[in-house]
């Protein structure tokens, strides 16, 4: 849902940015004006515990898959 809303705010049309990484519980800041098309994206994918994402090598979905596979092997 976040990606769809951000795509609308950034492009002005319906769309979906599937490759835009979003960490769990991240913060996206969008200023909304009086007109529905008056949108300004101020920040994307802010995570208070990892401002720079400097140690991230895998996407959220890759991490979840790895966790699932580990649990499946141990069962």
Residue-by-residue pLDDT tens, the chain, 75 positions: 788 888 888 888 888 777 788 888 889 999 998 987 888 899 998 888 777 667 778 887 888 999 999 999 997
> For residue 7, how many other CB atoms are within 10 A of its CB?
17
Which structural domain, as residue segments, surrounds residue 24? 2-74
19-24: long-range contacts, CB 8 A cutoff, minimum separation 24: 20/44, 20/45, 21/45, 21/59, 21/60, 22/60, 23/47, 23/50, 23/53, 23/56, 23/60, 24/60
Q: Name which of 10, 16, 8, 5 is nearest 41 in CA terms.
A: 10
CA–CA gap between residue 2 and residue 22 (Å, rounded): 8
Tally of domains within the chain: 1
């Amino acid at each position: 849902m976040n990606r769809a809303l951000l795509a609308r705010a950034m492009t002005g049309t319906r769309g979906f940015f599937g490759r835009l990484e979003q960490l769990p519980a991240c913060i996206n800041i969008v200023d909304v004006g009086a007109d529905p098309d008056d949108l300004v994206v101020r920040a994307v994918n802010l995570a208070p515990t990892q401002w720079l994402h400097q140690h991230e090598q895998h996407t959220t979905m890759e991490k979840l898959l790895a966790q699932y596979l580990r649990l499946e092997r141990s069962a």
